[in-house]
Amino acid sequence: QRKNPFSSDDRLASKPAHTHRGDPAYGRPPEGSRTEQRGKDAHSHVGKEVEELCLIIRRTGKVGEDGHVSVTFGQLFETYVTISNKVVGILLRARKHGLVHFEGEMLWQGKDDDVVITLL
């Protein structure tokens, strides 16, 4: 559309034609766009789900000798799946942010039910 002579969309003309790696705008939606707002809303929603997951671990888990609360994946899955079907994805996000710890790269229902998840 930027090259289309019949396009009257002024937003396209004001944007830079290309961004390159290293450019702060590279891979990001234009500031103030609806896409940017949707991304912010999604980030906020996932953050709330991570907080809720941590609260459920604290509520259902047991305090260990080290003072950290732990729960098995099977127990957490059974409790949390009634709230959200994205329990594994939310666990991975929580681990990425240093909020929980568990062994392995991915957790599978049934196979990894005995894996201990520790709230940090």
pLDDT at 31: 87
Evaluate whether residue 79 is within a structural domain: yes
Look up residue 50 and give its two tokens.
């991570």
Q: Tell whether pTM > 0.85.
A: no
- Which tens digit of pLDDT belongs to each residue from 65-88? 999 999 999 999 988 877 777 889
Domain range for 93 is: 34-119
Q: Is the dihedral of CA 95, 53, 71, 120 positive or negative?
A: positive
| 78 CB-side CA count, 13 A | 10
Q: How far apart are CA 33 and CA 20, in angstroms?
A: 20
Evaluate whether residue 82 is within a structural domain: yes
- Which tens digit of pLDDT belongs to each residue from 15-68? 555 677 888 888 888 888 899 999 999 999 999 999 999 999 999 999 999 999
Evaluate whether residue 29 is within a structural domain: no
Kindly report the CATH number assigned to the domain that includes residue 114: 1.10.10.1540
